[in-house]
Copies of this chain bind each other. A is one copy, B any other.
Amino acid sequence: MTVILGIDPGLTRLGVGLIRAGQGRTVSLIHVDVYRTPPGDDPAARIGALALQLESLLDTYKPDLVALERVFAQHNVRTVMGTAQISGVVFALAHARSIPVSLRTPSEVKAAVTGHGRATKSQVGTLVQSILGLSEVPKPADAADALALAITEAWRGTPASTGPQGPLTPAQQAWRAAEAKAKRPKLTE
C-alpha cells in the first residue's frame, strides 16, 4: 500500500491530491484540496503561505511518493516563474523528508489517465472521477489534475491487461466503463 501525493503547482491555485495505491491498479482517494493565494500579494508571502500548507500536508499524510507536474519554460513567463518557485519548495520539502519526487508532463498524465495525450481538461476530470469512484468530478481542474498526477504515478510500470480487441490500458478500460455508464459517444482522437 503506497500513499501518493500529486501536486499541480501554481501560486494562484495549487492542486493537491492524495491517493492510496494498492495491488494491481487499485487506487482510492485519501484527500484532495486546492490552495489559493491572492495574485496581488507579494510573491515571497504567497510562496511562504503555500509552503506552510504543503509542509503541514506532508506531515499529516506522510506520502511515500510525490508526483509533480513538470514545468516548461515556453509558456507564459510570469506564470512559469511562479510555478518554478513553488516546484523548488516542493523539492526542498520532499527532500528534507526523504520522499522521492517524480516529474510528469501534462501529456504523460493525460495518456496514463485517459488513454491519449491530447485529452481535454473535462475528459481528465471525468476519468479521475470514474477511476476513483467519486460521486462527482473534482473541481476546480487543478484538483482533478493533482489526482491524475497521483494516479499516473501509481500506474507507472503496471502491465496492461488484455481486452477483447487486444491489450487495453487500464485508462482505456476505465474510459470504456465510464462511456458505457454515461452512454456517451465514443471518444475520437
Contacts and interface: CB of A to CB of B under 8 A. Distances in A.
Interface string A69-89: 001010001101100111111
A94 to B, nearest CB: 7
Contacts of A86: 88
Contact of A92 (B80, B81, B92): B92
A48 B92 contact: yes
Interface stretch (A39-47, A115-123, A150-158): A39-47
A78 B71 CA distance: 11
Interface in A65-117: 71, 73, 77-78, 80-81, 84-89, 91-92, 94-96, 100-101
Interface in A38-62: 43-45, 47-52
Contacts of A50: 92
Contacts of A84: 80-81, 84-85, 88
A55 to B, nearest CB: 8
Interface of A: 43-45, 47-52, 71, 73, 77-78, 80-81, 84-89, 91-92, 94-96, 100-101
